[in-house]
Amino acid sequence: MKFGFSGGGSDGPTPVDQGMISEVRAYWEALRQGDMLPRRSMVDPRGIANALEHSFLIERIAPGLARFRIAGMAYNDLMGMDIRGMPISSLFLGEARMRLQMELERMFHGPSILTLELGSERGLGRPPMTARMVVLPMLGQQDDCNLAIGCIEITGEIGRVPRRFTIEGALIEQVSHSPRAAAPDALATKAHQPAQDHAFAEAPTPYSPPHTTPGVPYLRLVKG
């Protein structure tokens, strides 16, 4: 897979597509109904099982700023802590954060697919390491584009934590987007084995039964 990134290259190891980014992106594409962005409620973590530990869900909280709502164990390994609730900028060195804010805002506003090629600081206990990250826009509860699902693939050893990234290049791919509401979740459902607990899964929303008039059943059988 080749990308036309803007920005300089890195003298470290070249990131290798291990298939995780491809899996997440293909799943995101499968959830789209025509030109509509997928909703968060459509995502089943079992659909990206092979990339789950390297996947994340972020929420836009201000222009150019987003925080992790969910993150796989790969991010804990990078930072040496649970990063849920932390800003995505915590993965980046200070000089890269302004660029990150700009690219994130372009991604949410586009909406667009954002792909970043990343380098990292080196030193004692910090061997050469590069990565590639993809961020894919999604709709929130109010049908606003304020969520995104993503994935990171790392080449090299993490070494001493925390490890933070520089941005070596960025690719923005504009996506068509219809303002209409997304199709029912059932249309995007895929057959899977019974569910198991995953770090990427959020707690389920409690079910509230519809209001009915006492004595009147919600469903009726009508015979012809």
What end-to-end distance do the CA atoms of the chain give, in Å? 58
pTM of the model: 0.74
Q: For residues 81 and 90, what is the distance between their CA atoms, to the nearest angstrom?
A: 11
The DSSP secondary-structure symbol of 82 reads -
Domain spanning 20-176, CATH class:
alpha beta
Q: What is the pLDDT of residues 140-181, one digit of tens each?
A: 988 899 999 999 999 999 998 899 999 999 999 999 876 654
Q: For residues 173 and 111, what is the distance between their CA atoms, to the nearest angstrom?
A: 9
Q: What is the pLDDT of residues 30-87, one digit of tens each?
A: 999 888 899 999 999 999 999 999 999 999 999 999 999 999 999 999 999 999 999 9
Alpha helices in 32-118 (DSSP H): 73-79, 94-109
Between residues 172 and 17, which one has the greater pLDDT?
172
Whether the pLDDT of residue 221 is over 70: the answer is no
Domain coordinates in residue numbering, the chain: 20-176
| Structure confidence at residue 201 (pLDDT) | 52
Q: What is the pLDDT of residues 90-133, one digit of tens each?
A: 999 999 999 999 999 999 999 999 999 999 988 888 899 999 99
- Cβ atoms of 154 and 74 closer than 8 Å: yes
